[in-house]
């Protein structure tokens, strides 16, 4: 898109947006949408040192509640490539290109537009725990260019939120003049990230809330719990942890690149022209693995894998179809059941990872699920019988020198 000259007088000409479209959207079943997030204050001032809380909540809603693919956009060029793009600015002097407002998929908000007249986020977004990793890719880029971690402390070290909102004083110049009183907004646990050592409250007049002592008590209790954690782990963060985190991120990126490459290569070699991927919008929230397995699963960036599959599929002309995967884990492929509610019976998952068909034949649960996911898109795919596996094969996509020495180059 051609870039227009930024226009500072744009704010007053824009209609006050309504969030009805988003609320309608919440009731829709589509998911896996491409969502773009634009922090206009950040784009206009790259050294901006405070994250946009509303955008982090919007991002969390799309990522964790809907399993959409969220990207923090670092320019205004590709708005039309996304299903929805959210743009926010806090400061009225932040400039944005006037031409972008023509896009129907663009939702804008923030005090930088209409100050106190802007509507609040709908409750289902407002009360999400912020997506504290929204800015991480940008922070990583900045640090690689020489920025210091300290410059991003509000992004990395603080749980941010409002425990109360509003004020009763109605000062003419204040964004809070629309309120009549200070009201309770959210408990600290709603926005607390236990890995962060500090809490940053954005409340404008916390002590104007009649029961402010309760809030202080809640904070003290939270601090005590955090201190216990601190004692247990000795410290919250260190350069060593920083290095480990970066190293882990790079390792995951590498594995995901190899994985997507392997899949595409496999499609190519076997003349497969369509790839079906299942998406479950609550797979991370409902994850019931044991302890650290849950933690590891939740932190795997499936978005990244899907994005890579998307562009690699495009490159080689493979059609990528993403489909919801409801009822696929509790319906039986071997009994030729359609994945729908009437056939759903999860008691046939006799152990984790093992599914028993009605005549007692065993099949790996993931394999059963995968076949059923494919059936969602191609109901008659198995009309001529199947030629495939009932137990999964573990593929080592990242070969280490040790693997090669031990003869485990590809399969293990
Ligand atoms: S928050 Fe401060 S400036 Fe705003 S209305 Fe209250 S007292 Fe006035």
Are 276 and 321 in contact, with CB atoms under 8 Å apart?
yes
Q: What is the pLDDT of residues 311-364, one digit of tens each?
A: 888 888 888 888 888 888 889 988 889 888 888 888 888 877 888 888 888 888
Are 161 and 206 in contact, with CB atoms under 8 Å apart?
no
Q: Give residue 35's pLDDT.
A: 92
Average pLDDT over residues 270-294: 64
Q: Could you tell me if the CB of 205 is within 6 A of ligand 1?
A: yes
Q: Could you tell me if the CB of 202 is within 6 A of ligand 1?
A: no
Nearest protein Cα to ligand 1, atom 1? 204
Helix (H) or strand (E) holding 376: helix 365-377
Q: Ligand 1, closest atom to CA 208?
A: 6
User: Hey, CA dihedral for 222, 224, 229, 235, is it positive or negative?
Assistant: positive
> E strands within 265-361?
274-279, 319-324, 349-351, 354-356
Q: Could you tell me if the CB of 174 is within 6 A of ligand 1?
A: yes
Query: What's the 175 CA to ligand 1 centre distance in angstroms?
Result: 8
Give the long-range contacts of residues 149-154, CB within 8 A, separation 24 or more: 149/242, 151/47, 151/49, 152/49, 154/49, 154/50, 154/51, 154/200
Q: In degrees rounded to 5, what are phi and psi of residue 126? A: -55, -35
Query: What's the 172 CA to ligand 1 centre distance in angstroms?
Result: 9
Nearest protein Cα to ligand 1, atom 4? 174
Q: Could you tell me if the CB of 204 is within 6 A of ligand 1?
A: yes
Distance in angstroms (rounded) separating the CA atoms of residues 355 and 362? 6
Distance in angstroms (rounded) separating the CA atoms of residues 140 and 159? 19
Q: Ligand 1, closest atom to CA 205?
A: 1
Query: What's the 176 CA to ligand 1 centre distance in angstroms?
Result: 6
> Any idea which of 34-38, 49-53, 128-132, 232-236 has the lowest mean pLDDT?
232-236
List of residues 6+ apart from 92 with CB closer than 8 A: 11, 111, 112, 113, 115
Residue 22 vs residues 83, 115, 264: alpha-carbon distances, Å: 12, 20, 35
Q: Could you tell me if the CB of 173 is within 6 A of ligand 1?
A: no
Q: What is the pLDDT of residues 159-201, one digit of tens each?
A: 999 999 999 998 888 888 888 999 999 999 899 988 888 899 9
Q: Ligand 1, closest atom to CA 179?
A: 5
Domain ranges of the chain: 1-156, 272-405
Task: Give the pTM.
Answer: 0.56
Average pLDDT over residues 362-382: 86
**Cα angle: 350, vertex 351, 355; to 5 degrees:** 55
Residue among 164, 169, 207 to mutate when testing ligand 1 (max atoms within 8 A of CB): 169
Are 130 and 21 in contact, with CB atoms under 8 Å apart?
no
Distance in angstroms (rounded) separating the CA atoms of residues 204 and 166? 7
How would you class 325 by CB atoms within 10 Å of its CB: exposed for 0-12, middle for 13-18, buried for 19 or more?
buried
Q: Ligand 1, closest atom to CA 167?
A: 6
Q: Give residue 46's pLDDT.
A: 67
Q: Could you tell me if the CB of 181 is within 6 A of ligand 1?
A: no
User: Exposure string (b/e) for 25-37, b if CB count within 10 Å is 16 or more?
Assistant: beeeeebbbbbbb
Average pLDDT over residues 38-53: 87
């Amino acid at each position: 898109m051609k870039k227009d000259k930024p226009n500072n007088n744009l704010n007053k000409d824009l209609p006050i947006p309504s969030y009805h479209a988003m609320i309608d959207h919440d009731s829709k079943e589509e998911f896996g949408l491409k969502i773009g997030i634009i922090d206009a204050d950040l784009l206009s001032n790259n050294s901006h040192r405070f994250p946009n809380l509303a955008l982090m909540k919007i991002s969390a809603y799309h990522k964790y509640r809907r399993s959409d693919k969220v990207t923090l956009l670092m320019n205004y060029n590709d708005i039309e490539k996304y299903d929805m793009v959210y743009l926010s600015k806090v400061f009225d002097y932040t400039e944005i290109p006037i031409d972008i407002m023509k896009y129907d998929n663009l939702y804008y908000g923030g005090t930088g537009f209409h100050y106190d007249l802007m509507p609040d986020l709908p409750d289902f977004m407002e009360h999400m725990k912020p997506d504290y990793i929204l800015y991480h890719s940008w922070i990583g880029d900045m640090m690689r260019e020489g920025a210091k971690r300290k410059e991003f402390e509000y992004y990395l070290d603080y749980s941010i939120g409002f425990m109360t909102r509003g004020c009763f004083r109605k000062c003419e110049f204040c964004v809070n003049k629309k309120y009549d009183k200070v009201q309770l907004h959210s408990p600290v646990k709603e926005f607390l990230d236990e890995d962060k050592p500090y809490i940053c409250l954005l409340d404008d007049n916390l002590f104007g809330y009649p029961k402010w002592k309760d809030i202080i008590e809640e904070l003290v209790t939270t601090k005590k719990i955090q201190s216990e954690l601190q004692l247990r782990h000795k410290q919250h963060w260190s350069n060593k942890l920083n290095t480990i985190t970066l190293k882990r991120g790079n390792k995951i990126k590498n594995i995901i690149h190899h994985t997507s490459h392997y899949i595409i290569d496999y499609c190519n070699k076997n003349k497969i022209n369509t790839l079906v991927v299942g998406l479950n919008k609550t797979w991370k929230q409902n994850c019931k693995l044991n302890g650290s397995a849950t933690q590891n699963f939740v932190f795997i960036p499936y978005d990244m894998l899907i994005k890579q599959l998307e562009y690699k599929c495009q490159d080689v002309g493979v059609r990528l179809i993403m489909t919801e995967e409801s009822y696929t884990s509790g319906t039986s492929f071997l009994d030729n059941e359609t994945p729908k509610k009437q056939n759903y019976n999860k008691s046939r998952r006799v152990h984790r990872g093992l599914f028993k068909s009605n005549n007692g034949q065993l099949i790996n649960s993931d394999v059963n699920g995968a076949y059923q996911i494919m059936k969602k898109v191609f109901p008659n795919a198995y009309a001529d019988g199947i030629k495939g596996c009932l137990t999964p094969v573990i593929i080592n996509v990242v070969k280490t020198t040790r693997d090669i020495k031990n003869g485990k180059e590809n399969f293990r």
